[in-house]
Structure 1
Amino acid sequence: MPTRTPTRPASRRRRPSSKRRRPTTKRRRSSTITRRRETRFALVIAGVVAAIALLIGVASMNSAGNAALACLDETGRPLEEGTTIAGYGAEQLANATAIVDAGVAVGAPIEAQRIAVMTAMGESGLRVLDHGDAVGPDSRGLFQQRDNGGWGSYEDRMNPTVSAANFYRALLALPDWQSLEPTVAAHRVQINADERHYERFYPAAHEVVAAITERSLTCSVG
């Protein structure tokens, strides 16, 4: 009998097991989770940075708001503590100075400056008030200007210079303001209930404006 060469059994091809694909899926999931964690971490860091920047800004605003107010007499010497002009102290006189300076900047004559200071005396006592009253709860600032779009933003109304400039523009736009009594002219701008309301503040306004314009008094924020 012929000798038969033993044949090798045909090799079987192993089908790739589905188990071998799972590590790839796990790696993808792990990569996705890592990216999500990195994104969340970056957002947290950005939030912390923004919060710190906000706190720094608020601190800067507070430090600026607490700056010292200084008033000097005609010789350049600081006024003694408690010294007033027409009953108004350093903070109020500094605000009056801002009103007068704003009038000079827009070309308002001296009488308009007196009316502006008189109006601020009657509305806020020459203080930058961050509140209104029962009639105008949205009123703010030296002139108690309303939040009706005609007096600018909240920041504008709380800024002595800007609020004064807006008052002057409204006053000077009245065609007959110079022929009106000061209290009536102020009333036409402010549209308040009593056109005689400001009358009693005019003598004090006259005295304060004279002290500022004649340079016998200089007030500023130091």
Structure 2
Amino acid sequence: MALSAVLLTVTAGCSSIPFATGSLSHGRAVSCPAAAVVDVGTIAVPAGPIGGYCQPELVNAAHIINAGRDAGVGVHTQAVGVMTAMGESGLVNLDYGDAAGADSRGLFQQRDNGAWGSLADRMNPYTAATNFFDALMKVPGWVSLTPTQAAHAVQVNADPDYYTSYWTSARTVVTALTPG
């Protein structure tokens, strides 16, 4: 576990970010390395920090925002997608599973059960987010659910309120990255 935390810290490209169970510990001071702006579709992604995340994670958030926009969902629901990925992976595209399943992969820790596509699909941030939004829009009454209820309806996390603590950071990230 200690080696994983070190590797995740290095992979994230940020300093002063403690990892708890593979996710960014939000609400802590973050120092991001200087980096040129990266364009992800129409989104210009700065070095950060934004909402406690640095550019590598913000690039993944931009892919989620683009997938949500292309799926026809609004900024609120795009933030639900970002919140979910924050809770599942700290916005890091993980190539290993979690306690729920050794076959879980990617930003959303989607399982190899046929519902989320191939391993390549689950490891592609845009495709994984598209699959998340497609599943969400099939949930009856999804538009009236709270953000954590919506995330839980798709992810079926053991704790239905698990994602609540990520909502503020997700809204901050989506607001900062949303063009226009």
Normalising to structure 1: TM-score of the pair? Answer: 0.60
Native 8 Å contact 2:45 2:55 kept in 1: no
Native 8 Å contact 1:70 1:90 kept in 2: no
- Give the corresponding residue for 1:118: 83
Q: Which structure ranks higher in relative contact order (CA pairs < 8 Å, sequence separation ≥ 6)?
A: 1
Structure 1 stretches (4+) deviating beyond 6 angstroms?
none
1:174: how far off? 1.3
- Give the corresponding residue for 2:136: 171
- Give the corresponding residue for 2:37: 71
1:104: how far off? 1.0
Note if 1:89 corresponds to 2:68.
no
Question: Identity of aligned pairs, percent?
Answer: 52
Native 8 Å contact 1:103 1:112 kept in 2: yes
| Larger Rg over CA atoms | 1
Give the Cα separation in 2 of the matches to 1:134 and 1:101. 29
1:71: how far off? 3.0
Give the Cα separation in 1 of the matches to 2:144 and 2:76. 11
Give the Cα separation in 1 of the matches to 2:178 and 2:46. 17
Gaps of 5+ in 2: 1-34, 39-43
- The structure-2 alpha-carbon separation of the partners of 1:91 and 1:178, relative to structure 1 and needing over 3 Å to count, comes to same
Give the Cα separation in 2 of the matches to 1:78 and 1:98. 11
Counting only pairs closer than 5 Å after superposition, residues 1-80 of structure 1 correspond to structure 2 as 70-71=36-37, 79=46
Q: How large is the RMSD of aligned CA atoms in angstroms?
A: 2.0
Native 8 Å contact 2:45 2:62 kept in 1: no
Alignment coverage as a number of residue pairs: 142
Structure with the higher helix share, 1 or 2: 1
Note if 1:207 corresponds to 2:172.
yes
